[in-house]
Amino acid sequence: MRSPDWMTSPSTTITSMSEIRLIPGLADAGAGDPFGDGLISRLANEIFAGSHQAPSVPEVPFTPPATVAGAPAHVPSSPAAPAGGSRDIDLSGGFPSSHSPDAPPPVHPTVVGAEPERDVPGGSTPQGGHVPGSSDSHEFGEPYSYSKGFAPTSARSKDGDHFELPGIEPVDLGSQFYFIRELDAPVVSNGLEIPVVPNSGFSGGGFDVEGVRRDFPALHQRVNGHPLIWLDNAATTHKPQSVLDATSSFYGRDNSNIHRAAHTLAGRSTDLFESGREKVRQFLGAADAKEIVFVRGTTEAINLVAQSYGKQHIGEGDEIILSVLEHHANIVPWQLLAKETGATIRVIPANDRGELILEEVPKLFNARTKIVSITQVSNALGTINPVQEIIAIAHSHGVPVLVDGAQSTPHIPINVQAMDADFFVFSGHKVFGPTGIGALYGKSHLLESMPPWQGGGHMIRDVSFEKTIYANAPEKFEAGTPDIAGVVGLGAAIDYLFSVGIPAIAAYEHALLEYATAAMASIPGIRPIGTAHNKASVLGFVIPGIENARIAKYLDQQGIAVRAGHHCAMPALRHFGVENTVRPSLAFYNTHAEVDALVESLHQIARR
């Protein structure tokens, strides 16, 4: 995928990076190497462009993460079976081989630097344009005009053809996910179309997955007599030792409330808390740490926007746009608001692969459209939605967009400025951090204009019985004592992801998804649910005639953890005529051998 010009401009330079351990051999990759052909430089430009922003706490310098204690040790290795012995299976059914026995041993260089920079300098102002019959200007961009780099180009229609948005000069954003190549022919098993994950040309063999796995204590246990194989990562992720240590150290050494005392421990606690905010800023590529609001998770973040921004701007007869692929957390809050205000919800449809029909999006907008709220990656299907193009369309109508990043942040680089999202939300426990903590990103002018949604201490400047003067954002939305230890743990998780390298994680996971998709195609009768061309992590399926709960229980007996159910995405699954699925979901600590064990067990179930 060719990155937009504003992301790969010759003037954009990477001035510093955190210690990012990239894929071995990358430094010596030539132009013909599938993984060296400009891939990492393009990815790095996407997420590390810009200049450094000062920490949010005066006189408290933000120390870039050095090598994280317990971070992956990079020694030559190949993906191996989990501890406790291999689970050999017959590969004659067509499982792809990800490693060549004749391949030379990998070399493991380490790229060392400081904290990654994620700011996008400057920014284009939309040009001209207006809604017919109206001279109003729009806070989110003029109607039917696009900032440079944000106009959608041709996109797939529901029939697979391409279309052009009328009256809009297209800007090439690239048609595919950042390292995805042209599609091959679909894999077919028993007459069913199996999702084709485009071939990246990278096997994942150079990524030191065993080094990563050593950092996650929970992975080294036995369940029902077998080594644990954790394939429920879309529900929650396990935590590296550095996150456990950071949280424990806070409670054992630095525990204090923040911003409320002159003593030493209060200062240390405040420094750690605000350092965590700065790390989230860099993780999301936000312009200012004041644009980061801490919440309990994605669900609370969406509710905050619905109850604060929504109640302020949405009234009777107004419209909210969602998609059919949303998690319930991005449906129910808007339904509650719509019921209270008399607003209406409109839904972006999907095709039979589980891809949003982009040509239908402009048709949903009118003068009463007030907000779009959309997931970047579907938790039930793994579909990667074209959020940047949807944002461009919405902004051309003067409509803000909230992006649910709960399922994208663990897997792909994020830059909210490049995306031009108005709001972006995610949960800590999805990105290898603690439960009960998450973050809301909001553009500064939006957060400052929004009323608080909860009252209490910390979020005020002055209180009397006559009136209260509220603090500015983000404190205005952080009433009471926050989850300080959760923020510390989330910051440690971000440090860990930076130390491994988010582009390297994305490439490895994509290769693993390719492998798993092809391997699962050999299972008799399997019906994949969600066959989008652009996918991340999720491998949902059903096997007709076998209950999903029975499949999940059998896998659990083999030590394999997957989820069976509706995954809080009933409309998405009902689009495929099913009420629930079995959902294995991958993370960067999963291995080819674990995929083999899953497929072997599913073959055993199918034979019964």
Distance CA 234, CA 414 (A): 18
Question: DSSP assignment, residue 50?
Answer: S
Q: Is the peptide bond before 227 cis (omega within 30 degrees of 0)?
A: no
Helix pair 592-607, 502-520: axis angle to 10 deg: 20
Per residue, the 3-state secondary structure of 527-572, as one string, reads EECCCCCCECCECCEEECCECHHHHHHHHHHCCEECEEECCCCHHH
- Of 564, 569, 525, the C-alpha closest to 383 is 569
Q: Which residue has the tokens 């949604």?
A: 453
User: What are the two backbone dihedrals, phi and then psi, of residue 561, each rounded to the nearest 5 degrees?
Assistant: -95, 115
- CA 243 to chain CA mean position, Å: 19
Distance CA 295, CA 238 (A): 20
Q: Are the beta carbons of 357 and 158 closer than 8 angstroms?
A: yes
Spatial CB neighbours of 460, under 8 Å, sequence gap ≥ 6: 468, 469, 470, 471
568 is catalytic: yes
Amino acid residing at 362: P
Question: DSSP assignment, residue 603?
Answer: H
Residue 205 tokens, joined: 């063999």
Question: DSSP assignment, residue 139?
Answer: T
Residue 34 tokens, joined: 């599938």
Burial class (CB in 10 A: 0-12, 13-18, 19+), 113: middle
Residue 176 tokens, joined: 């595919």
CA-to-CA separations, 265 to 59, 256, 257, 262, 271, in angstroms, rounded:
16, 6, 8, 9, 10
CA-to-CA separations, 386 to 150, 152, 329, 377, 550, in angstroms, rounded:
12, 10, 20, 9, 35
Q: Which residue has the tokens 């209060």?
A: 266
CA-to-CA separations, 505 to 36, 206, 500, 510, 600, in angstroms, rounded:
15, 11, 7, 8, 26
Which stretches of 131-189 are assigned E, i.e. beta strand? 155-156, 162-163, 187-189
Q: Which of 60, 568, 570, 605 is catalytic?
A: 568
C-beta neighbour count of 259 within 10 angstroms: 16
Residue 134 tokens, joined: 């109206």
Residue 60 tokens, joined: 């408290």
Amino acid residing at 66: A
Distance CA 60, CA 65 (A): 15
Which stretches of 437-481 are assigned E, i.e. beta strand? 438-442, 460-463, 468-470
Going by their DSSP bridges, the two strands 319-323 and 369-375 should be labelled as parallel
Helices (H), 225-346: 241-249, 264-284, 298-305, 311-313, 332-341
* Positions marked catalytic: 568
